[in-house]
Amino acid sequence: MSPAAPEELVLAVGAPAHGGHCVARPVDDPNGRVVFVRHALPGETVRARLSQKTSKMWRADAVEVLTASPDRVDPVWPEAGPGGVGGGELSHVALPAQRTWKRWVLADCLRRLGGEQVAEAVLALPESSAPGGVPVEPMPSETRAARSGDPRVRALAGTGTRTRVELTATPDGRAGMNAFRSGTVLPVSSLPLAVPALQELGLTERSRWRKQLRPGTRVHAVAPSGGDPVVVLTDGRGETVLTGAAHATGRRRVDELVDADGLGLGELRYSVHADGFWQVHRDAPAVLVDRVVRAALGARPSAAGTRKGDAPLDRDTVAGTRVLELYSGAGLFTLPLALLGCEVLSLEGSEQAVRDARRTLHDLPGTRLHAGRVTAASVAELGVSFGPGRDERADVVVLDPPRAGAGREVAQAVAVLGPRRIVLVACDPAALARDLGTLLAAGYAPASLAALDMFPHTHHFETVAILERA
């Protein structure tokens, strides 16, 4: 017996929801069952195929557009469309409209998950003066593309930005990616979101790579800013590192260069393991370093970063600031904070990332790097371990937690330390809202918030929030 055809519905599409969906309802039943539909746009009418149907949740993919939004464009990555791979779910949306989408999602998460107190506090910030709340800002390369006189450059804005790509070999040995919300690996023929240096490797089509791939092989391709690309293959035999020409190499580390001129630090150099974590958008490390360090040490609390006419940070003023850095990774923020003379105590759960940071900061005094889980207990212990007698508290706490956020217990422990300023970096608006709710309840108030479109053509974006004691 052949399987039943997937159920289809004609849907009227409403507002975006967190996760890359829109809230939709059947056109013939405006008050009927909510369906979370992908590959659609607010205001559209679509024919959608159900992909999940439970008592709590209906999900669907738009497979035919009956009434199109003016913000719909030809997708820059069709293979991430209906029934395709994950990771490019907004590639059918014009880039400015993607940022409007994300602004709506941020405002919704702040109110629905953070609560009215959080939503109203953020709306009171100067950066929320635009309709719809805090704007989602483009990265510098996207701004330059949008201003280009070449229509093709404008049309491809947001592509060619990712310096890291993750692939998995299909059962027949082709490069692929996971289907949305599935363990099934689908072959891909192009990588339009990857930087040109990775696209030129030909990972999806050249025979030299097919020879290296066994079913299930994981491929981690890296185009560092300080050298040539490398490709890390991981399978049952272990890990192999290859050059861009698919030749074995003993190179296990890459150099990343970050422009910190706005802080008065020039170019920063980091040593990172080839398959270690690093911000994937080519602009992200410099943008985050500038914004987070200024947010932590600036005389006024601002997440806007260096603006035209701003002077570099005054080292004589900021030197000696006691900074507790949580989820510190490979030292992206640790290095500039240390170079500015801060006393930095960092905590990171990945031992490999801590080793990377130690290699980068090996000759800098005043910095102590710890490997271990970030918990309420570890925050309470480390946050009062500054000063000559190791019994002084942090002046500033910087935390950049994973997508799940810091969580209630860690956020409460940070607040108990009583730093004058908290800088929270979040890559998920739902986690941001929950952590802000905890910190506001503990006596802190948001002083500035920036939202950054570091993941164009996906529903993800980054935020930098500054909180001070109310």
Could you list the active site residues?
427
Q: Which of 201, 282, 207 has its CA nearest to residue 242?
A: 201
Residue 326: its H or E element? strand 322-326
Residue 51: its H or E element? strand 45-53
Three-point CA angle 399, 405, 406, nearest 5°: 55
Q: Could you write out the three-class secondary structure of 63-105?
A: EEEEECCCCECCCCCHHHCCCCECCCCCCCECHHHHHHHHHHH
> Which tokens sit at 110?
């702040």
Count the helices and strands in the chain (H runs, E runs): 13, 21
> Which tokens sit at 371?
């490997």
d(CA 188, CA 142): 25
453 with 142: CB under 8 angstroms?
A: yes
d(CA 373, CA 378): 8
d(CA 253, CA 272): 5
* 400 annotated ligand-binding residue: yes
* 444 annotated ligand-binding residue: no
* 348 annotated ligand-binding residue: yes
435 with 411: CB under 8 angstroms?
A: yes
Following CA atoms 368, 372, 373, 378 in sequence, which dihedral angle do they give, to the nearest 10 degrees?
A: -50
180 with 193: CB under 8 angstroms?
A: no
162 with 195: CB under 8 angstroms?
A: yes
Query: Which residue blocks in 300-425 are alpha helix, DSSP H?
Result: 315-318, 334-339, 351-360, 376-382, 408-417
d(CA 293, CA 305): 8
The residue with tokens 């974006």 is 461
Q: How far is CA 418 from CA 376, 451, 467, in A?
A: 14, 25, 11
Query: Which residue blocks in 239-309 are alpha helix, DSSP H?
Result: 284-297
Strands 35-38 and 21-26: antiparallel
302 with 290: CB under 8 angstroms?
A: no
Annotated binding-site members: 279, 327, 348, 400
Annotated binding-site members for S-adenosyl-L-methionine: 279, 327, 348, 400
